[in-house]
Amino acid sequence: MLPTVSPMLASPAKPFDSDEHLFEVKWDGVRALAAVEQSGWRIWGRESADYSGRYPELEVLRRFPPGTMVDGELVVLRDGRADLSALLSRHALASPTKIQHARRHCPVSYVLFDALYHQGRSLLNEPLWRRRMVLTDLMEDWGGPTLLFSEGIVCTGQEFFERVVEQGHEGVVAKHFAGRYCPGQRSTAWQKIKPAHELPCLVIGYTPAPSGLHSLLVAECRAGTLRYVAELTAGFTVQAEAQLGRLLARHVRARPVVPCSKKAVWVEPEVYCRVRFQHRTPNGSLRGASFHGLLKADWNA
């Protein structure tokens, strides 16, 4: 029986060019590894969570010969782009009846980018280029509309990144051709490259913590209207946490200045901060948002 391997993780990086790396689209979905054996097939995610029952359409994995293990991303594709919101709605289903209905109306594709076992033999210590050759052969013989191959390019990583982001994808992953597969580890052999947009936002609330605060809730002023867009839990220094905790605690109000379903301590909207984010969700919220300093602070710390 093949082991349940943990997925290899990528380190963050900025766009670059290289003839030693493969540049692929970073598919915005749910990471999953799959194994095919004589007894059947199975698919799992991080922390070995079993996804097999959620995606019956992936029964097509049985086309692969027994002893095969692959790595990839579960996605719902809309016009060639991954729709994360649709995928997460599908991923949360537990009822077999609802899953069968979703299978017809919201089909999932499995975008494959690595082969970890072939004919029962481990490829984990093989270089990426050799693992990709195995995967290419598998896909040529047994691929289909549900099982897709993640294509890539070499050398022009910066240009590829710009084009991919313009097309609405999450970003790019750069993988060193000589790199081996490191289960459960974050390695510089794989580098994830995402766009970093920046936006001025108003602080409308916070959640406290012993050090000062746990998170900030922020709103964006757009077309003259203020609306909640994100909860920030990353990007704070210890000094910033303490400073923000002190100054926000002195300007509390009873209710949020704009509708927000979060539980928080609400404050007067008088302080702006810089917010970096990856992209917007379909409802306009900020995904991958983090704090990057104050823009304006009229209160004394």
Predicted local distance difference test score (pLDDT) of residue 116: 98
Task: Flag whether 156 is in a domain.
Answer: yes
The answer to whether the beta carbons of residues 146 and 96 sit under 8 Å apart is no
Range of the domain at 150: 9-193
The tokens for 212 are 């000062």
The H or E element that residue 41 is part of is strand 40-44
**80 pLDDT higher than 70:** yes
Q: Which residues of 128-159 are buried (b: 16+ CB within 10 A; e: fewer)?
A: beebbebbeebbeebbeebbbbbebeeeebbe
Say which CATH number the domain at 32 has: 3.30.470.30
Say which CATH number the domain at 263 has: 2.40.50.140
**298 pLDDT higher than 50:** no
Does 223 share its domain with 187? Answer: no
Does 102 share its domain with 241? Answer: no
Mean pLDDT of the chain: 91
**255 pLDDT higher than 90:** yes
Task: Flag whether 301 is in a domain.
Answer: no
Identify any residues that bridge with 122 across adjacent strands, giving them in sequence order.
117
Write the pLDDT tens digit of every residue in 202-249.
Answer: 999 999 888 778 899 999 988 888 999 999 988 888 878 888 888 898
Output Rg (C-alpha) for the chain, integer angstroms: 22
The tokens for 80 are 């060639």
Task: Flag whether 143 is in a domain.
Answer: yes
Task: Flag whether 1 is in a domain.
Answer: no
Does 253 share its domain with 206? Answer: yes
Write the pLDDT tens digit of every residue in 37-69.
Answer: 999 999 999 889 999 999 999 999 999 999 999
Burial zone of 78 (CB within 10 Å; 0-12 exposed, 13-18 middle, 19+ buried):
exposed
Write the pLDDT tens digit of every residue in 137-174.
Answer: 999 988 778 999 999 999 999 999 988 887 878 899 99
Identify any residues that bridge with 207 across adjacent strands, giving them in sequence order.
215
Question: Per the structure, how many domains does the chain have?
Answer: 2
Ordered strands of the 152-155 beta sheet:
9-12, 186-193, 172-176, 18-25, 152-155
Q: Please identify, among 141, 162, 193, the residue that sits at the C-terminal boundary of a domain.
A: 193
Does 235 share its domain with 90? Answer: no
Q: Which residues, 6+ apart, have CB-to-CB distance to 171 below 8 Å?
A: 26, 161, 164, 165, 192, 193, 194, 195, 278
Write the pLDDT tens digit of every residue in 125-135.
Answer: 999 999 999 99
**17 pLDDT higher than 50:** yes
Residue 299: pLDDT band by 50, 70, 90 thresholds? very low
CA distances, 182 to each of 125, 201, 278 (Å): 8, 39, 26
- Give the global pTM: 0.73
Does 211 share its domain with 178? Answer: no
- Tell me the DSSP string of 201-262: EEEEEEE--TTS-SEEEEEEEETTEEEEEEEE-SS--HHHHHHHHHHHHTSEESS-SS---S
* Average pLDDT estimate for 9-16: 95
Q: Which residues, 6+ apart, have CB-to-CB distance to 103 below 8 Å?
A: 55, 56, 57
Instruction: Say how far apart CA 178 and CA 145 lie, in whole Å.
Output: 30
Distance of CA 174 to the CA centre of its chain: 15
The answer to whether the beta carbons of residues 12 and 195 sit under 8 Å apart is no
Does 121 share its domain with 92? Answer: yes
